[in-house]
Every structure is written in C-alpha cells, then in structure tokens.
C-alpha cells in the first residue's frame, strides 16, 4: 500500500515541474527583444528619412525631370520657347555652353523643320547633399524632320544639379550609355 502514496507524490512533482517550465517559457518569450525573423546576409535596415530630406529628393527629381523634358521637347515652330525653358533650369558651365549653342540649334531645327517629342521614363537620385545632386534619367521619344518619318530616340542622361537660393538648377549634363 505504500506504493500508492509514492506514485501520487511523483505525479504531483512531475505536474509542478511541468507547470514551472511552462511559466518560465512564457516569461522568456515575453521578455525577448530580439528579431522575429532571421537576419539576411547583405541586407541592411535603413533609417527613415526626415520630411525635409524626402522633400529635397522630390525637389531634385522634379527639377531634373523638368530640365530633361524641356530638352527633349523642341519644335521648329517655337524653338526659342523651348530654349528659354532649358535655360530657366540651367546654371554655370551648362548654361554658358547651351547659350553658346542656341544659334546653331535654332538654325538646325528651322532648316530641317524638326519636331522632337519625348518624355522622361524614370529618374533616380544617385547622390545628394543639401547643395548638390547627381541624377540619372531615362527618356524616350521621337524626332521628325522634313526628310522623313519620325524616328525613335532613347537617351540616358546624367545631370549634376546645384541648389541656388532654394532652386535646383542643372550645372552639367551628359548623355551616357
């Protein structure tokens, strides 16, 4: 008969140990501040940008897109208006070079009765700080002349922009492959 009390005691001890183990496991899980998933090699978590930094990126993209759009939309019927739009978004060496080329550009478009139409497909900021930025853009469009039907033109453009009095202006432009 002594067997029954020993079995009961062992049963109670096992049940108490199981309960304590369950309580300990719950506390460990609740206190764990670790990640809920395994880290992925080569992936870094980025900090959220401030509102002013996000606005700067938007302003840079808008300025670069407007400048590229002005450059790829020119018609012989109103070349000077298109040139004025490009110059409005230009500064420094780029503005000087473009200004120097406007006479030849007007002559070329008028002689060939050229019409260039296009749009920016995408733009991305490569590098930026509060005063300068580098942007890559992809454009697509067509150019038609009196000599034939419209032909497709696709460009990749790298722009250097600078902030002058709060306005982003293009100071260098290169066509890239």
pLDDT digits (tens, 9 = 90+) for 8-46: 777 777 777 888 778 777 777 666 565 555 556 666 665
In-domain check, residue 5: no
In-domain check, residue 166: yes
Query: What is the rounded distance in angstroms from the CA atom of residue 26 to the CA atom of residue 43?
Result: 31
In-domain check, residue 143: yes
* Residue 89 near residue 70, CB atoms below 8 Å: yes
What pLDDT does 23 receive? 79
This prediction's pTM: 0.71
Domain count, the chain: 1
Enclosing domain of residue 145: 51-176
* Residue 95 near residue 87, CB atoms below 8 Å: yes
How far apart, in Å, are the Cα atoms of 41 and each of 23, 47, 48? 35, 18, 21
pLDDT digits (tens, 9 = 90+) for 83-110: 999 999 999 999 999 999 999 999 999 9
In-domain check, residue 133: yes
H helices present in the chain, as ranges: 3-31, 51-72, 79-88, 92-112
What pLDDT does 47 receive? 65
In-domain check, residue 33: no
- The domain that contains 125 carries what CATH number? 3.10.450.50
In-domain check, residue 141: yes
What's the whole-number mean pLDDT along residues 142-160?
94
What region, left, alpha or beta, does residue 157 occupy, with left being phi > 0 and alpha being psi -120 to 50 degrees?
beta
Burial class from Cβ neighbours inside 10 Å (0-12, 13-18, 19+) for residue 118 reads buried
- The DSSP bridge pattern shows strands 167-176 and 74-75 to be unpaired
Per-residue tokens: 140: 């697509």
What is the sign, positive or negative, of the torsion defined by CA atoms of 81, 82, 85, 86? negative
In-domain check, residue 8: no
In-domain check, residue 149: yes
Alpha carbon distance, N-terminus to C-terminus of the chain = 94
């Amino acid at each position: 008969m002594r067997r029954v009390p020993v079995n009961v005691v062992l049963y109670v001890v096992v049940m108490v140990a199981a309960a304590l183990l369950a309580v300990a496991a719950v506390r460990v899980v609740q206190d764990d501040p670790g990640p809920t998933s395994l880290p992925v090699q080569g992936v870094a978590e980025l900090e959220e940008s401030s509102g002013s930094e996000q606005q700067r990126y938007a302003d840079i993209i808008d300025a670069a897109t407007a400048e590229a759009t002005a450059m790829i939309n020119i018609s012989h019927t109103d070349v000077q208006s298109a040139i004025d739009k490009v110059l409005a978004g230009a500064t420094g060496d780029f503005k000087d070079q473009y200004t120097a080329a406007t006479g030849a550009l007007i002559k070329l478009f008028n002689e060939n009765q050229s019409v260039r139409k296009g749009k920016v497909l995408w733009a991305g900021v490569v590098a930026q700080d509060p005063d300068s930025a580098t942007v890559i853009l992809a454009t697509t469009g067509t150019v038609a002349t009196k000599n034939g039907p419209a032909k497709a033109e696709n460009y990749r453009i790298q722009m250097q922009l600078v902030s002058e009095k709060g306005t982003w202006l293009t100071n260098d432009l290169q066509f890239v492959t």
